[in-house]
Amino acid sequence: MTKFKYKMIFIYGVSLAVLLFYLKWIEIRFLIWSKAYDIYIGLIALFFTLLGIWLSKNLNFKKKGIVENEGQMIHKSAISFESNKVNQVICNISNRELEVLQLMANGMSNIEIANELFVSVNTIKTHSSKLFYKLEVKRRTQAIDKAKKLQLIY
């Protein structure tokens, strides 16, 4: 009698599990059919998102006259450019200030320059103000223009 009792409990358990599985399958099937349009749109969106990510990583859109050098974009003319050391000495501009000036000319903000050179933003502001004083200018654009005329930067 006990073997029969356990056998019946096992059969009922398996039957309930199969029935529960079948009901969940039907529920999911109807859910998918009722939301088929939403799922279809979601899959298309996912596909195009992944395609966009893949394209952005694999396609190189390089501007004419621009070369990539160790993660930095530099102009081809900068490869052969040599700073006028005489004018640098006359203006009493240090190499670090010249580096800050070149990064300004590349269009970087003070925060970006600080991150590039691994210094604080206040240090960049100090270098900038010293550059403005030494070049006798008041703004970045004037400093860049004068430095290019003096052939300090490209």
| In the chain, % of residues over pLDDT 90 | 20
pTM: 0.47
- On the question of pLDDT at 4 being above 80, the answer is no
Q: How many other CB atoms are found less than 10 A from the CB of residue 81?
A: 13
- Give the count of beta carbons closer than 10 Å to the beta carbon of residue 93: 22
At residue 87, the pLDDT reads: 77
Averaged pLDDT for residues 98-118: 91
Decide if pLDDT at 145 tops 60.
yes
Confidence grade of residue 113 (pLDDT, cut at 50, 70, 90) = very high
Average pLDDT, the chain: 80
Q: What is the pLDDT of residue 123?
A: 92
Report which of 127, 143, 134 is spatially closest to residue 89, judged by C-alpha positions. Answer: 134
Tens-place pLDDT, residues 53-100 = 888 887 765 544 444 445 555 554 444 556 678 877 778 888 898 899
